[in-house]
Structure 1
Amino acid sequence: MTTAVFLGFIVFSLYLAIRSKKGHGAQSVHDFFVASRQFGAYLVFFLAAGEIYSIGTMVGFPGGIYAKGPTYGVWFLGYILLAYPLGYFLGPKIWQAGARYNAITLPDLFKGHYGSRALELIVAGSSILFLLPWGQLQFTGLVAALKGLGWEFDPMYLVLISAALAFTYIAISGVRASAYIAILKDILMVVAIVATGVAVGWKAGVGDVFHAASLQVSNQMNDTQLRFSMSTMLFQALGFYVMPFAVQNFFTAKSANTIRRTQVAMPLYMLMYPFLVLASYYAISQNLQLASPNEAFFAAAVRLLPDWLLGLVTAGAALSGLLVLAGICLAIGPIVTRNLLPGMPEQRQKQGAKVVIVVYLVLSIAMTLATPNLMLTLINTTYYGVTQFFPGVIVILFSLKVRPMAIALGILSGQGLAIALYAQQADFGGINLGLVSLAVNLLVTAVANYAPRLARVQPA
């Protein structure tokens, strides 16, 4: 029964992808990647939410609480909530900049504002590099979810099937398919999470579960943990909306006000997190022996839900990973065909991007199978690199005059330092390494921008 329900929803998702193409004929490159900037508030809302609440919501968050205690949730919830006000003010400006420069990708914005080929290449190349772990994150989460639900398939087959489905969604109608499937995915994900949390409360008792779990985990944070949580919230909130796929999602909206309307409603999704905490505490309280902390939520679901509802949980988890994977692919494809290979005619960019997407999926699969890592590590690795774009994006949004070379040196300094500090496991008393690197990025940018001016005004 579980498998039948799961397969039914997957088939329905393919129908939605096909349905999304109706009335649009042969899609131009702009329609394929950013829906010709035609999406209204509802589609932008579901598309953006589909990227934010990914497989990490059902795997990484409960797994982190199971492995590290409830203090882990402070960081996870905090950075998303802090990001939303930034999105409300910056999102419309990102859309306006995209319309001004006819942009499809994040590097298009840098090219349009700064007019620097070197800076465009730096942003394009590092976007691809630091999005590789994000694709690996989705595959790792999918494998953990399906294994946690009792699907004992070889991980190789699971990731290959997942990659094939993600590519199929993209090939049918690009971002339009993602938007339509996001509606189904969000409904399934929310129902799955709420149903599991309610089942825990109904069958085990909320008070009993919290009391039993509190005997095994601590709610206390030491000074180092507090500094890490606070600094990570700030750092990842700044990087949240400069992710290449997040910027591209903004470009799909039909107006700046459309984005404001979606950002106002986004925090409503946070209401499902108490149910995730309850499922995590249930796994702790029952002393469930898990192969991985990432299976915590699904272990609770398997114990408490009927087969048909377990099929829904499986479909919600799978679509959560597949949709984000498709979004990453839709961002990376045009970065290669438009920014790394700028001479490619528009009519060939869409087909070229599909080839790039296949290559990206293969690389992500190889990384997943060769180096299965904790989700926190994968999330941090991507943010270490991507958040370094933040100063350059702010300059674009507010039409400031800063030397392209200064922005380029700042980005490279921040990214290089973040990688070096991470490799050396440097410790700044709990301060997030990425935030330290971002401070260096800003310092290098300021020095490189103003030093030549100061040198010119020095008296002879």
Structure 2
Amino acid sequence: MTGVIVACVLLLSLGAAWLARVRSRHMSVETLLVADRALPAPMLFILTVGEIYSIGSIVAFPAGLYGHGVSYGYWFLGYLLLAFPVGYFVGPAIWQRAKQYDACTLPEVFGRHFKSVAFERLTAWACVIALVPWGQFQFIGLRSVLDTMGFSATPAAGLAGCAVIAFAYVALGGVRASTYVAFLKDVLMLFGIAAVGVGAICMQYKLSGGHADIVRPTLALPSGSSLVFAITTILYQGIGFYFQPSVTPYLFTARSAQAVRKAMIFMPLYMLMYPFAVFATIFALRFLPPLSNPNAVFFHVAGVLLPPWMVALAAAGAVLAGLLVLAATSLNIAAMMTRNIAPKLGRRHPKRAINLAVILFLVLALVATAHAPAIMLTALNVSGYIGIQFASLWFLILTGWPASARIAGLGLFSGAGLAIALFASGVSLGGVNPGLIGLLANCAIVFCPLWRGRGAVRVHTKKDLL
């Protein structure tokens, strides 16, 4: 039954992607990558939350709580709560810059602002390096969901099928197809998380004999270094969230700066699903035997509490969540490969070149997933340590601070290198997130007063600052 329901949902999602293709008057490169910059606020909201609240919300978040304690939930939810107000103010400004430079990719903004083709190519490589772990993260999550559905005997075939569907989304309608599929994904994922959460509350109430402490925490509250880590991670990821290449390009698709601002207002409402995931995790900790694989905790609880058809719908929502982000990430990487890193390859047939690059990335990511670690947090760390360092470049662009491409690049790669080195070395930092240390070093370099006036890109008019 599970396989049939999931297959029907996937076919329905392909129909939604085809509808996006039919409703597009033409399929230019700009349509493929940024939806002609025509998405109204509701569609931008659906697209953005569809990418932000990915498969990690239904797999990695309960797994993190289960394996690392309540401190994981503190920083996971805390940085999202901080990110949305930041996005409300910087999101419209980012859209204005992308519109001003007629940019379809992130490196095009950087290269045209700093007037350097070499810097555009360099930042494109950095973006690709940051996005590859993010794409692999989706494959890891999809493998975990497929295992819970009973496809663990043939994981390669299941993931290959996911790669084919992700490519179909890209080929049919580009980023607009992701928007249409996101409607279906959101309904199923919210239904699945709420159903498991409510089931966990009811069952805990029954097993507790009707006592009121059914959601009493069973995990120790963070203190010491874990509390320091939670606070520094909230600051680091909350401030830098909308500046990383896995999120920023979605803002380019908006119809206007006002549409971005309106979409940001309602972003926090989506977080109402997280308490249900917390209830499910607490139920697993209090009443179920220990699990060897934390990534399976949510669907293990779902299998205990819900009928098979409801578990299948929840699994379908999780699969769509992973596929959406995988498709968008592969499209983003392919666009940078063919437009910024090797533009000659896509000069004659840009859409064909983008599709071929998407296929290449999906194949490589599929192979890499076979050697991925069991816990998905490592992939996110690597992606974040690089991706959030782009915040310094956006600080320069949005404030008009005079700095050259050389100094901007020095700050970017110094910050990313320092963060990764500290993370890999395992040196004790008292709980401080190494990414925050890298970002502070990055900003110290690019905003150093000694560089002012030395080959810097200057903003001369008030219009340039708007």
Which TM-score bucket, shorter chain as reference? over 0.9
Compared CA separation, residues 210 and 70, structure 1 to 2 (3 A): farther
* Whole-Å separation in 2 of the counterparts to 1:156 and 1:327: 21
Q: In structure 2, what is the Cα distance between the partners aligned to 1:44 and 1:156?
A: 33
CA distance in 1, matches of 2:282, 2:123: 41
Distance, in Å, in 1 between the alignment partners of 2:348 and 2:399 is 33
Report the equivalent of 2:73.
73
Provide the rounded CA distance (Å) in 2 between the counterparts of 1:435 and 1:427.
14
Give the aligned partner of residue 245 of structure 2: 244
The equivalent of 2:461 in structure 1 is none
Is the Cα–Cα contact under 8 Å of residues 16 and 181 in structure 1 kept in the other structure? yes
* Structural mapping, 1:174-189, within 5 Å: 174-189=174-189
Alignment of 1:55-454 (within 5 A): 55-205=55-205, 208=208, 217-343=218-344, 348-447=349-448, 450=451
Q: Deviations over 1:320-363 (max 9, x none)?
A: 10001111112111111111123456562221111111111122
* TM-superposed deviation, 1:443: 2.0
For 1:245 and 1:396, the matched residues in 2 are separated by 19
- Measure, in 1, the Cα distance between the counterparts of 2:422 and 2:284: 35
* Residue identity opposite 1:244 in structure 2: P
Q: Matches of 1:190 and 1:204 in 2, distance apart?
A: 21
RMSD: 2.1
- When residues 432 and 111 of structure 1 are mapped into structure 2, their CA distance, relative to the original with a 3 A threshold, is same
Inter-CA distance 400–151: structure 2 relative to 1 (3 Å threshold): same
Report deviation, 1:34: 0.5
Q: Where do residues 25-44 of structure 1 align in structure 2 (5 Å cutoff)?
A: 25-44=25-44
In structure 2, list runs of 5 or more residues that go unmatched. 456-466
Change (3 A) 1:357 1:453: closer
Contact 1:29 1:346 in 2 (8 A): no
| 1:196 and 1:301 in contact (8 A); partners too | yes
Q: In the comparison of the two structures, how many residue pairs are matched?
A: 453
C-alpha contact 2:200 2:283 (8 A) present in aligned 1: yes
In structure 2, relative to structure 1, the CA distance for the partners of 1:449 and 1:29 (3 Å cut) is: farther
Give the distance between the partners of 2:415 and 2:183, measured in 1 at CA.
37
Give the Cα–Cα distance (whole angstroms) in 1 for the partners of residues 79 and 42 of structure 2. Answer: 24
Contact kept? 2:201, 2:215, Cα under 8 Å = no
Unaligned runs of 5+ residues in structure 1 are 455-460
Encode CA deviations 1:16-54: one digit per residue, 9 max, x unaligned. 000111142441100111010111111101100011000
1:275-321: CA deviation from partner (whole Å, max 9, x where unpaired) = 00011111111233424101111111011111221111111010010
Please say which of residues 235-244 and 165-174 is displaced more in the overlay.
235-244
Point out the more displaced range, 405-414 or 152-161. 152-161
Q: Distance in 2 between the 1:379 and 1:449 partners?
A: 35
- The TM-score normalised by the length of structure 1 is 0.94
- Distance between the aligned counterparts of 2:74 and 2:206, measured in 1? 20
**2:463 aligned residue:** none
Once the 2 structures are TM-superposed, how far is the Cα of residue 126 of structure 1 from its aligned partner? 0.9
Distance 1:251 1:401, change over 3 A: same
Shift in Å at residue 387 of structure 1? 1.0
2:151–2:158: 8 Å Cα contact kept in structure 1? no
Is 1:51 matched up with 2:51? yes
Q: 1-side partners of 2:290 and 2:162: how far apart?
A: 27
Q: Secondary structure at the match of 1:205?
A: helix
Query: Match for 1:324: what amino acid?
Result: V
Compared CA separation, residues 210 and 114, structure 1 to 2 (3 A): farther
8 A Cα contact 1:334 1:350, kept in partner: no
Q: Distance in 1 between matches of 2:452 and 2:97?
A: 28
**Cα distance between partner residues in 2 of 1:453 and 1:111:** 18
Note closer, same or farther for the CA distance 1:175–1:347 as it changes in structure 2 (3 Å cut): farther
Query: Are 2:201 and 2:214, in contact at CA under 8 Å, matched by a contact in 1?
Result: no
Structure 1 residue 218: deviation in Å?
3.0
Paired residue secondary structure (1:59): helix
How far apart are residue 451 of structure 1 and its match?
A: 7.2
| Structure-2 separation of matches of 1:373 and 1:115 | 43
Paired position in structure 2 for 1:4? 4
Question: Aligned partners of 1:399 and 1:206: how far apart in 2?
Answer: 60
Is residue 6–residue 311 contact of structure 1 (8 Å, CA) maintained in 2?
yes
Amino acid at match of 2:381: N
Counterparts of 1:155 and 1:171, CA distance in 2: 24
Distance in 2 of aligned mates of 1:410 and 1:120: 15
State the distance in 2 between where 1:347 and 1:26 align.
18
Report how far residue 448 of structure 1 moved. 8.3
Q: Distance in 2 between matches of 1:138 and 1:453?
A: 43
Q: Could you report, residue by residue, the CA deviation over 1:192-234 in whole angstroms, capped at 9, with x for unpaired residues? A: 000111111223328949968868x433222100110111111
Change (3 A) 1:419 1:377: same
Find the aligned partners of 1:23 and 1:59 in 2 and give their Cα distance. Answer: 33
Aligned match of 1:457: none
- Give the secondary-structure state (helix, strand or coil) at the position aligned to 1:244: coil
Residue 458 of structure 1 corresponds to none
